[in-house]
A and B are shown apart, each in its own frame.
Chain A
Amino acid sequence: MLFNSIDFLIFYPIVFLIYWIFFRNDINKRNLFLLIVSYIFYGWWDWRFLFLIALSSTTDFFIGQLIYKADNPSLKKRYLTISLTISLGILFIFKYYNFFIDSFVQTFTLLGKPINYHGLKLVLPVGISFYTFQTLSYSIDIYRNKLKPTKNVIKFFTFVSFFPQLVAGPIERATHLLPQFDKKYDFNYDQIVKGLELVLIGLLKKVVIADRLATYVDAVYNNHQYHNGTTLYMATIFFAVQIYCDFSGYSDIAIGVAKTFGFDLMKNFKTPYFAVSMKDFWKRWHISLSTWFKDYFYISLGGNRCSKLRQKFNLLATFVVSGLWHGANWTFVIWGAVHGVTQIIENSLNLKSNREYSIIEKAVRMIVVFHIVCFAWIFFRADSLSQAMQIIAKIFEFRLALPYLDVVNALFFGLISLFIYMIIDYFEYRNIKIFRYMRTRKYIYASIIIIILSIGVFNEGQFIYFQF
């Protein structure tokens, strides 16, 4: 079920009412209710994949207990290895098997020894990377003695499948989310209104900004060979804003919906395009994933507590694997590598200092970082490496030409969307609360809904991050 679908428009108010009217007093029944509705939410795409999420939950529930009870480190490690093998094994089969097999076959073909082998015909289960990482953090935290396993199976299953953040995050840590299923929540008007405000902003970002910009981006990127460098540059800038609003819009809705049920999810974005260094960018972009990789991958490799060369390797490896997490394609690997390499360069040149900058220096840094991020987005958006290289080559010709104007409606509304994005992010950057004043906020709510109804895209467009 998509947040921007009619199905969800019906589903959410029903669940909200039943939840608050019938289940607010009994924690166990409430958790069971949330589990059932979360499975309905997920099963709406394809009910067969419910078995997968149930398998993943069951495995980590029992192995979590075993890791905790094991009295010697080697046994703990063995149980953790089993948990990682099962979780990552499922992820590998569904997401990466064909990619590695294809790459293997292509390599042999290039070497003049073609292999006749075809991959498996598998559909990628929605959100598998997200919930796998969430369950992995549970097992690893128990292994690291940061968390006691829960004995309540319903609670654990609900933690894994909690519908607001199930398919595209934020990737919650068990230490943060799991205890929230033990608390009783009262119907708190202010809290619910804050949640609905986030839902509204998230919808604005998704259907007005991201999906509007997508019209122009798709028109250009799908026929990149016919477009000049100016158009491709502009479409890349549009894509940067599109993917940010698409994903942060989803996160806002997820956090907002959870808030209306009393739950608090972690913030996933903090105005990333205001970043003044690449390191700063990753403190602001997809925070739940970047901190996950830092805590569970980068530190496991040795983190900063090793030689300078090894540190660089760790950083690069973390970003390459992070790229691969996004998708089974070399374009994502290169996207991750670009981020890794630029951070290594930044570290080497000591450009990431946290001192105060003058306004001009800050602006220059923001522009440079934004353009590096956009450069990497080309790989992320392109269907293949060759397409990405062709686009980059055209942009770097630096030939001034008029951008593509045939899709004037898409461009017109794209520019309006860009303007709305700038206002939203500037307000957030400056910490200006537009919903602060009681007297005016109902007019602001109404205005946002009117904008959504007037220029939003209602084709129930998929969120980009669902494919990961």
Chain B
Amino acid sequence: MKGNSFIFNFKDKNSIIYLFSRFLIILLMIAIVDIVAGFVLKSIITEIPDGRYYKVYHTLNHNESEILIVGSSRGERHFVSTMIQDSLGLSVWNGSRDTQNLPYIYCVVFSSLARYKPKLIIMNVEKDIFSEEMNFEAASLLDPFYNNETVKKLYKEKQFAKSIFMNSNLIKFNSSYLYLLRPLVYKNQDGRKEDLGWEPLYGDFKGEKKKEDEILEYYSYDFDKESVEAFESIISELDKQNIKLLMVISPHFNSKYKNSSGLDYLKNITNEYSNIKLLDYSQDPDFVYQEEYFRDNQHLNVPGAKFFTSKVISAYKKLDF
């Protein structure tokens, strides 16, 4: 009996149930704040005029451009959407995002396909695209968009524990406030709408000028299983829907290796699928060690991006797609 009173006696302060009742009151208070905050933040995300959250929101939920560009920061900085649009006469949206990898690309592609059928997808890829685990830490950019079915499905499959916490709006919008609210005060600080997703990088070269002592002929690495699975599911879906995919390896100021097991894999893909092509600019002498085209070792500046985009456009026109 004493044991039961210790556990269940509501009136006794020194009982477990009393402690839990206090705990529940605090949880209730947090839940109310969470619901109100969620309501406000979700309203903001649908109303913000520009910036990174506008871009992701638009890319995942509304974009219906004929050409969709996906990738990481290199995809975002290197493909000038307006040039491609004007040259090919097709609507373009660059949905690439800084620091993102395959989880983000997977969500963009599948949420787009659930809504419409693009004519061409341009995917900025790297020779070591499969060397890291699917970068979910960086993909926390997708957290506020957890209600998107594709995002939800991916989280539940790959990050089940995290998907449980995504039921909290405060966690979903964790640390997003600056970039979420800034466009309401200062417009065009974090990407302009009229650039159609392209994020220009202004300024001169500020990277490491030293040339590589030795450029490897071949770099072999272990493929991350999850990355390969995500990539193959994208490829297979595009093939099923007969959507063209142009994979592009952007230039590096300081390319460390010429070929890799990842590059071999990508080349094999192009042999297997007629709707997939690969363009490799990683060793292009027009760019490598051309300081005037780079902002840092990985990213082209505005003149570099424009020159690169023009090269991609002319190469695309020559492709037998």
Contacts and interface: CB of A to CB of B under 8 A. Distances in A.
Contacts of B26: 442, 445-446, 449
Interface of B: 3, 6-7, 13-16, 18-19, 22, 25-26, 29-30, 33-34, 37, 137, 161, 165, 168, 170-171, 173-175, 177-179, 206
A17 B16 CA distance: 8
Contacts of A193: 19, 22
A438 to B, nearest CB: 11
Interface residues of A, number: 28
Contact of A226 (B3, B16, B29, B206): B206
10 contacts: A21-B7, A409-B178, A409-B179, A412-B178, A442-B22, A442-B25, A446-B33, A449-B26, A454-B174, A455-B174
A189 B13 contact: yes
Interface in A146-195: 186-189, 192-193
Contacts of A453: 30, 34, 168, 170-171, 174
B235 to A, nearest CB: 30
A458 B174 contact: yes
Contacts of B177: 454-455
Scoring A6, A453, A457 by chain B CB atoms within 10 A of each residue's CB, the highest score goes to A453
A413 B30 contact: no
B53 to A, nearest CB: 12
Contacts of A17: 16
A17 B15 CA distance: 11
Scoring B26, B168, B206 by chain A CB atoms within 10 A of each residue's CB, the highest score goes to B26
B170 A20 contact: no
A453 B143 CA distance: 13
A193 B21 CA distance: 13
Contact of B30 (A21, A446, A456): A446
A443 interface: yes
B161 A187 contact: no
A455 B171 CA distance: 8
Interface in A1-43: 6, 17, 20-21
Contacts of B173: 454
A453 B19 CA distance: 22
A116 interface: no
Contacts of B171: 453, 458
Contact of B18 (A189, A442, A446, A450): A189
Nearest to B6: A187
A359 interface: no
A256 B34 CA distance: 26
A453 B177 CA distance: 13
Contacts of B168: 453
A457 B143 CA distance: 13
A187 B175 contact: no
Contact of B29 (A446, A458, A459): A446
Contacts of A226: 206
Nearest to A20: B16
Nearest to B296: A226
Interface of A: 6, 17, 20-21, 186-189, 192-193, 226, 408-409, 412-413, 442-443, 445-446, 449-450, 453-459
A95 to B, nearest CB: 29
Contacts of A413: 175, 178
B191 to A, nearest CB: 14
The 3 closest A-B pairs by CB, nearest first: A453-B170, A446-B29, A189-B13
Nearest to B12: A189
Contacts of B37: 454
Given A186-B14, A187-B14, A189-B14, A450 B178 contact: no
Nearest to A17: B16
B161 A454 contact: no
A445 B13 CA distance: 19
A457 B171 CA distance: 10
A188 B170 contact: no
Contact of A450 (B3, B14, B30): B30
A108 to B, nearest CB: 26
A457 B178 CA distance: 15
A443 B33 CA distance: 12
A26 to B, nearest CB: 13
A326 to B, nearest CB: 27
A20 B19 CA distance: 12
Contacts of A20: 16
Contacts of A412: 178
A158 B175 CA distance: 40
A144 to B, nearest CB: 40
A64 to B, nearest CB: 37
A442 B179 CA distance: 31
A408 B178 contact: yes
Nearest to B175: A455
Scoring A6, A446, A455 by chain B CB atoms within 10 A of each residue's CB, the highest score goes to A446
B217 to A, nearest CB: 28
Nearest to A444: B26
Nearest to B29: A446
A459 B30 contact: no
Contacts of B22: 193, 442
Contacts of B29: 442-443, 446
Contacts of A187: 6, 14-16
A442 B32 CA distance: 14
A454 B19 CA distance: 25
B14 A456 contact: no
A29 to B, nearest CB: 15
Contacts of A442: 22, 25-26, 29
A226 B205 CA distance: 12
B30 A449 contact: yes
B119 to A, nearest CB: 35
Contact of A192 (B3, B6, B19, B25): B19
B16 A21 contact: yes
A456 B174 contact: yes
A324 to B, nearest CB: 33
A450 B35 CA distance: 12
Nearest to B170: A453
A203 B88 CA distance: 54
Scoring A186, A187, A413, A449 by chain B CB atoms within 10 A of each residue's CB, the highest score goes to A187
Contacts of A454: 37, 170, 173-175, 177
Scoring B16, B168, B206 by chain A CB atoms within 10 A of each residue's CB, the highest score goes to B16
A442 B175 CA distance: 24
Contacts of A457: 175
Given A408-B178, A409-B178, A443-B29, A450 B13 contact: no
Contacts of A186: 14
B2 to A, nearest CB: 9
Contacts of B14: 186-189
